Structure 1
């Protein structure tokens, strides 16, 4: 399951990059992860009253929080894929459970 999800993100990212003439070099993967973390923190600040709402409703903020969290998840999986990391083994080692493959 984790590998399948990783490959779905890889396919979507590669397609997006090709459509927009983006080069996904080694640095791109970690920099995009950092960018997405910044966007997650920005919406978190709004949700928790530390940032301006910019006219967003509670529903819009909840949706944006979910969307940015999905982006972070996707870019973590892309980074792991690019670097040949075995996330299932790392989860088992660090979190003490085996994710479904």
Structure 2
């Protein structure tokens, strides 16, 4: 599961970077992860009344929260892949289960 998902995020990210002339070096992967965490935090603040809604409906705020969570997940997988981190093994070690690789 993680391998296939990582491949899909990698393909989408590589295409995006090529289209926009971005260089995805080692720092880029960590910086994007941090950027996406900030965007998720901003979405959370808006959704929970801790930030300005900027005219967004509750449905928009819920979608923003979901979208930013998806972005963060993608960038976690990209960061792990770029750094040759075996997330499945780390999950087994830290969470005491092995994710389904099916």
Compute the TM-score of the two structures, normalised by the length of structure 1: 0.99
Tell me which residue corresponds to 2:76.
76
2:53 counterpart SS class: coil
Tell me by how many angstroms 1:69 deviates: 0.2
Tell me which residue corresponds to 2:19.
19
Tell me which residue corresponds to 1:100.
100
**Which whole-Å CA distance do the structure 2 matches of 1:60 and 1:4 have between them?**
29
Tell me which residue corresponds to 2:33.
33
* Unmatched segments (≥5 aa) in structure 2: none
1:50 counterpart SS class: coil
**Which whole-Å CA distance do the structure 1 matches of 2:20 and 2:66 have between them?**
25
* Unmatched segments (≥5 aa) in structure 1: none
CA RMSD of aligned residues (A): 0.4
Where has structure 1 moved over 6 Å in runs of 4 or more? none
Paired residue total? 101
Tell me by how many angstroms 1:88 deviates: 0.2
